[in-house]
Structure 1
Amino acid sequence: LYARKAPEGLKNRITLSIRNQQAGRKRFMRYAVAASIAMLFFAASSVFFWNQNQHLQQENAMVTDQIRVLEADMKEQLEDVRNQFIVLNNPGTRKYMVNGNKKAQDLKAIAYVNPIKKLSYINVRNLPQLPEDQCYQMWAEVNGSMVNLGILKNIEDKDKLMALPYGEKAVGYITIEPKGGNHAPSVQNIVANIKY
């Protein structure tokens, strides 16, 4: 009895409002999915770049260490070249010819000793061939103890000098040892003596 007629277009407005709300929810869901994908992409790229950064920092540290080692080697080599120059050009340097004994007659070397600068070097000019299972090894007796100076090899550069430890009245030896060298000199296999 008291009912009123609904205004014109009310149903359309309500339907349109419902549709707008549903569209808004769909739009919100799309934005939410897009934002989630963007966050996942951002998180993945952040992890990737963090890993890359860590890897680059490790490589940087390795390169820095290698540069330090190279600098130390270069300083050592420059010091050695400076000492060689001093020994070869100093008038106080004594020169000793070293020849092999009967076991190594073709062995030829020159020892340079400078008592003023307390430096000594040897230039091995020729080493006779040995069987494959043997090598030449150099020793120095300095202050009563034997010091291993390493294995000698024939080298192309005949002017190359090898540093010797300096000692008052030191004696150097070249011996024939088993391949790879020995911890103590084989006295019976001495092929050259160097007294300086």
Structure 2
Amino acid sequence: MEEYIASGTLEFYVYGLLSEQENIEVNEMAKKHKEVASEILAIEKAVINLSYAVSPHLSAENFEKIRQKLIEKHNGVVQLEPKRGTSQYIGWAAAVVFMLGFAYQYVKHNEAAEQVKGTTAQRSKFEAMLADAQKRNTEHENALAIVRDTLNTPVKLAGQAAAPQAYATVYVNKVSKDVYVDVSGLPKAPEGKAYQVWALKLDPFTPTSIGVIDDQTLRSGMFKLDSNAGVQAFGITLEPAGGSKAPTLDQLYTLGKV
């Protein structure tokens, strides 16, 4: 009888892997031999306990089905407490249940990894947007401080023939002589071009470059220029990227006298 119990037939019987004839034979053996019936019940309890412990989420539905089936089979409640003497089934049942649990954990791990990846990308995007917003806010605050400073004298630069709708404002500090220009009224420079600001002396006409404004600076609105003593006017021309040694007068966008 011990050899029959150790053969593995009862384990296959519990999992429903035997043929109809083999199931009949096991049932007959269980009726005739109490130790066989007890062994079958022990295996069923061990498998249920192990299924619930190793993979509770994956096997919840199957666990309940098995539990109900065993209750009906034995006309009573199947206790789920571990039973001494069932350790010989652990290796056999764990191979099946652990694979199910591992597959479940693998899928969940991949899902979690994808969620973390997506969350990280969203967070990085949000942080970049926040940093950009903070930068723009700082730029706007600095520009507002320049406009409000009573020591800064504004010089209006009107649009010229090359761009009648363009405009700009230069601010010259009476004390520090610092020079700033608000270029928010200039259109986006064409590819490969940049705006260049000139400090002008009119008699004789002497242009001095005091700053080249790239597209990034143009978006920020306010730009600090080099100081130039004795300036009588300011002009802004469209030049090749990097600036020119002398202004391209037919590309004069704005001009204003101090």
Q: 1:13: which partner in 2? A: none
Matched, 1:109 2:167: yes
Unaligned runs of 5+ in 1: 1-16, 128-132, 154-159
Residue of 214, 228, 241 corresponding to 1:183 = 241
TM-score by length of 2: 0.47
Matched, 1:39 2:72: no
CA contact 2:184–2:222 (8 Å) conserved in 1? no
RMSD over aligned Cα atoms: 4.3
Q: 2:224: which partner in 1? A: 165
Identity of aligned residues (%): 10
Which shifted more, 183-192 or 60-69? 183-192
Residue of 116, 122, 143 corresponding to 2:182 = 122
- 2: CA distance, partners of 1:161 / 1:54: 39
Report which of the two has the higher share of strand.
1
Matched, 1:74 2:137: no
Matched, 1:96 2:155: yes
Residue pairs, 1:3-14, within 5 angstroms:
none
Structure 1 residues 152 and 39, CA gap change in structure 2 (3 angstroms): closer
Matched, 1:139 2:139: no
Q: 2:85: which partner in 1? A: none
TM-score by length of 1: 0.58
- 2: CA distance, partners of 1:89 / 1:145: 23
Unaligned runs of 5+ in 2: 16-46, 48-88, 200-207
Aligned residues: 162
Amino acid across the alignment from 2:212: V
Report which of the two has the higher share of helix.
2
CA contact 1:95–1:110 (8 Å) conserved in 2? no
Structure 1 residues 126 and 119, CA gap change in structure 2 (3 angstroms): closer
